[in-house]
A = this chain, B = another copy of it.
Amino acid sequence: MSFFRPEILAMDGYTPGEQPQAGKFIKLNTNENPYPPPPGIRRAIEEVLDKGLQRYPDPMANAFRTRAAELYKLPSKDWVLCGNGSDDILTICTRAFVGQGELLRLPYPSYILYKSLAQIQGAQSQEVKFNADWSLPASFGDPAAALKLVFLPNPNSPTGTMISREAILELAERLPCPLIVDEAYADFAEFNCIDLVQQNEKIMVSRTLSKAYGLAGLRFGFLLAQPQMVEQLIKVKDSYNCDAFAIGAATAAIHDEAWQADNRRKIIATRAKLVAGLEQLGFTVIPSQANFVWCNHQKHEARPLYEQLKAQKVLIRYMNYAGWRDGLRISVGTDEQTDVLLALIGSLL
């Protein structure tokens, strides 16, 4: 006999990418930024230490909200909700919108966590396959009685492809429920959907500092949404979901626009180099707007390649999507890491 809800017992649980805590790896498996975060972080952390940790942090992280509203040209901080990583934001939204037996929709293949979140709620999830050109079929926007939430990663993972702003506006108009545009990787892309939040309350944009700001270790994400949406979501979040270090460092990070522009430029340049190198080695690579690429070799199986690289202390992500295919997702590292990776793959083929 078990005390757990049957939904919990039945599920496998989301397995995050490997995070080796020891050993020197070239780590290109979880889309971390290879560069150190904005230099202002250290001073922000020291300020928190000097102020002391005895007191609870600001439950709403208003310093960050105020700056984010300014940076993203939203009317006020009431359009921003902060979370302990964007996973916290996705969790809060799922709990707020999707009840037991209801329906959550997501594209396939995409971020596996969305399905786990539905499972924890005892909800159903509906995976809609991308078209061959990585657009979405019209059915992705079809209303359904039980449909309460739709997730759309943009750029998508593992493919790095994007759905256009026009298509997203149209989806939101057709859907009977909120559409969370998960922009974890949008800082590496050619466009984003932040301003669409003001056009339709169903469009909510989720963001993270883990990828584009080199702060995966910090756990800080946020949602941009209309104030009447944020107001209800606050009821679902833990009271003090962001700690004093995360609030201080995240606020400092998004003040540094020059760092962000420079980092973006470097990642995009290395991405081009990575794609060219992979293609030269005989890989088919999907054109990506994120800080990773999805690829398959024309002759060699993906899994042994992943394993051989791991044995050589280079970690990339092997993923196998039932009904679609398996393949390799490779994060964009530094130029040096990319050179090592490409040389190593060349020697293995």
Whether the Cβ atoms of B235 and A85 lie closer than 8 Å is no
Q: How far is the CB of A72 from chain B (nearest CB, A)?
A: 22
Looking at the complex, which of A88-96, A159-167, A298-306 is the stretch in contact with chain B? A88-96
Please pick, from B42, B54, B120, the residue contacting A32 in the complex, using a CB distance under 8 A.
Answer: B54
Chain B residues with CB under 8 Å of A100's CB are 99-100, 122
Q: Are A54 and B36 in contact (CB under 8 A)?
A: yes
Cβ-defined contact, B240 with A85, below 8 A: yes
CB–CB A59/B98 < 8 A: no
What range describes how many residues of A lie at the interface?
35 or more
Known: A4-B96, A45-B45, A243-B219. A56 touches B238 (CB 8 A): no
The listed residue with most B CB atoms (<10 A of its CB), out of A57, A96, A245, is A245
CB-defined contacts of A210 to chain B, threshold 8 Å? 56
CB–CB B244/A218 < 8 A: yes
Q: Is the beta-carbon distance between B120 and A236 smaller than 8 angstroms?
A: yes
Some 17 contacts from A to B, beta carbons below 8 A apart, are A4-B96, A5-B96, A5-B97, A14-B235, A32-B55, A35-B54, A36-B52, A36-B53, A48-B217, A53-B214, A53-B249, A56-B216, A57-B216, A84-B238, A85-B240, A100-B122, A116-B235
**Contact between chains at B97 and A120 (CB < 8 Å):** no
Task: Kindly report which residue of chain B lies nearest to residue A19, judged by CB atoms.
Answer: B56
| A50-91 vs B, Cβ < 8 Å mask (1 yes, 0 no) | 001111111100100000000000000000000011011001
* Chain B residues whose C-beta falls within 8 Å of the C-beta of A214 in the assembled complex: 53-54
Question: Do the beta carbons of A238 and B87 come within 8 Å of each other?
Answer: yes
A14 contacts across to B, CB distance below 8 A: 235, 239
In the complex, residue of chain B having the shortest beta-carbon distance to the beta carbon of A209: B53
Chain A residues within 8 Å of B, Cβ to Cβ: 2-5, 7-9, 11-14, 16-17, 19, 21, 27, 30, 32-37, 41-42, 45, 48-49, 52-59, 62, 84-85, 87-88, 91, 95-100, 113, 116, 120, 122, 148, 177-178, 202, 210, 214-219, 229, 232, 234-236, 238-246, 249
Could you say which residues of chain B place their CB within 8 Å of the CB of A59? 16, 19
Q: Are A52 and B217 in contact (CB under 8 A)?
A: yes
By a CB distance below 8 angstroms, the chain B residues around A244 are 217-218
Which B residue's beta carbon lies closest to that of A31? B56
* CA A91 to CA B91, docked complex, whole Å: 12
Contacts of A97 on B, CB cut-off 8 Å? 3-5
What 17 additional pairs, Cβ within 8 angstroms, besides A5-B148, A19-B59, A120-B235?
Answer: A9-B232, A12-B235, A14-B235, A16-B56, A16-B239, A21-B58, A32-B55, A33-B54, A45-B45, A48-B217, A54-B214, A54-B217, A56-B216, A57-B219, A113-B239, A219-B242, A219-B243
Q: Measured between alpha carbons, how far is A88 from B41 in the docked complex, in Å? A: 26
* Complex interface: chain B residues within 8 A of A242 (CB): 219
Which residues on B sit within 8 Å (CB–CB) of A122? 99-100
Measured in the bound complex, the distance between the Cα atoms of B30 and A96 in whole Å is 27
A58 touches B19 (CB 8 A): yes
Contacts of A37 in B (CB 8 A): 53-54
Q: Is B238 a contact of A55 with CB atoms below 8 Å?
A: no
Query: Does B216 lie within 8 Å of A13, measured CB to CB?
Result: no
